[in-house]
Amino acid sequence: MSIPDWTAGLDPLVALGLFLASFAGSFMTVAMGIGGGAFVLAIMASLLPPVALIPVHGVIQLGSNLFRGLLFLRHAHWPVAGAFAIGAVLGIGLGGALVIDLPPALVQLVVGLFILWSILRKPPAWLTRAAWLNGLISSFLTMFFGATGPFVVNYIRTLNLPRQRHIATHAVLMTLQHGLKVAAFGLLGFAFAPWLTFLVLMIGAGALGTIFGRQVLLRIKEATFRRALVSVLAVLALRLVYVGARDLWASG
């Protein structure tokens, strides 16, 4: 019986580095509220074939968020989940059906500017009242951009939930979104089978990161968590703006 290719064709050291990145990303998301998905995506972007990047990252994030959601399930704020799911179905459907290729740099720039604006000013009213619209927009963007966690967490931040409810609710919404995205890529013909063993190991490493991150989350104060959340969100947004503007300038 042949041994499964745990590296999915990557250099073994590269694969091990990605497992460590998955651990660190999940730890970051639980301990600080955000950042893990974008962190893992940024590392994977320079190491994986472009055609595989978004669907493979989607499976990893599905597993990571599902495990985190189950771990914090009793804390989840369920009233927003149904409306978000409806919007997510519409957003994934639109993103999968459209043949246009949105410039990733433009998407990064716009999302980064929006997040910065929402941090520095009072969030727009629709962000707290229209979960379905947030689900639609973020799910549409995830088909092209991949890591829309900062966009979704910015919506959850406006609900002013305690830290464990924040983490749980974010995990539930992202599980819905990534699950729909993975299903859409499967229907579009992406072959996940060659990546299966690698994906299981990546998800396992992320689960360990979640367990360790939970211990940090339970020990920090509510005010410290919120300051860390806003700080990490701002750094990620600034990075999106910088990378988007740089790539647009280079392509122009």
What secondary structure does DSSP assign to 165-199, as a single string? HHHHHHHHHHHHHHHHHHHHHHHTT---GGGHHHH
Q: What is the pTM of this model?
A: 0.80
Burial of 192 (0-12, 13-18, 19+ CB in 10 A): middle
Q: What percent of the chain has pLDDT over 90?
A: 33
Residue 198 lies in a domain: yes
Residue 231 lies in a domain: yes
Residue 170 lies in a domain: yes
Residues 6+ apart with CB under 8 A from 89: 139, 180
For 1-22, how does the pLDDT look when each residue is reduced to its tens digit (9 = 90+)? Answer: 445 577 877 888 999 999 998 9
Residue 228 lies in a domain: yes
Is pLDDT of 125 > 80? no
- In whole numbers, what is the pLDDT of the chain averaged over residues? 83
Distance (Å, whole) CA 120 – CA 23? 31
Q: Residue 54 CB: number of other CB atoms within 10 A? A: 22
Domain range enclosing 60: 12-251
Query: Would you state the structure tokens that stand for residue 222, as one six-digit string?
Result: 């509510």
Distances 71 to 35, 133, 210 between C-alpha atoms, Å: 19, 27, 9
Residue 2 lies in a domain: no
Residue 7 lies in a domain: no
pLDDT for 2: 47
Residue pair 63/206 in contact (Cβ under 8 Å)? The answer is yes
Query: Would you state the structure tokens that stand for residue 195, as one six-digit string?
Result: 């990546």
Residue 41 lies in a domain: yes
For 161-218, how does the pLDDT look when each residue is reduced to its tens digit (9 = 90+)? Answer: 988 899 899 999 999 999 999 999 899 888 899 899 999 999 999 999 989 888 888 7
- Identity of the highest mean pLDDT range in 23-37, 181-195, 238-252: 181-195
Q: How confident is the model at residue 123 (pLDDT cuts 50, 70, 90)?
A: low
Q: When comparing pLDDT for 33 and 52, which is higher?
A: 52
Residue 195 lies in a domain: yes
For 61-116, how does the pLDDT look when each residue is reduced to its tens digit (9 = 90+)? Answer: 999 999 989 989 999 999 999 999 999 999 999 888 774 455 767 767 877 787 67
Q: How confident is the model at residue 38 (pLDDT cuts 50, 70, 90)?
A: confident
What is the domain count for the chain?
A: 1
